[in-house]
Amino acid sequence: MENPRIESLLVEIRDLQRQHLEEYRRNAGESIAAQRAAIEQASKVQQRLARLIRVFVPVIGVVVICLLWFLFRHA
């Protein structure tokens, strides 16, 4: 039985598993950071749209009321 050969293979497997785990942790950390950045960006876009809607809905309402008033006044 080749104990030194088996031992070296087991050491190589262990080292490769450690490298794999390190890379997995790094990739997972990068992925989580990217997800957080995307959520933050989406939140900012949502806030901007909410502000835009708060401005334009009353303006559109006034325009519609003016158009209706104009149509019924001249009808």
Instruction: List the chain pLDDT tens, one digit each, 75 residues.
Output: 568 899 999 999 999 999 999 999 999 999 999 999 999 999 999 999 999 999 999 999 999 999 999 998 876
> What is residue 35's predicted lDDT score, i.e. its pLDDT?
97
Residue 37 falls in which region: left (phi positive, over 0), alpha (psi -120 to 50) or beta: alpha
Query: DSSP letter string over 9-46?
Result: HHHHHHHHHHHHHHHHHHHHHHHHHHHHHHHHHHHHHH
Distance of alpha carbon 43 from alpha carbon 74, whole angstroms: 46
> What is residue 2's predicted lDDT score, i.e. its pLDDT?
67
Distance of alpha carbon 66 from alpha carbon 56, whole angstroms: 15
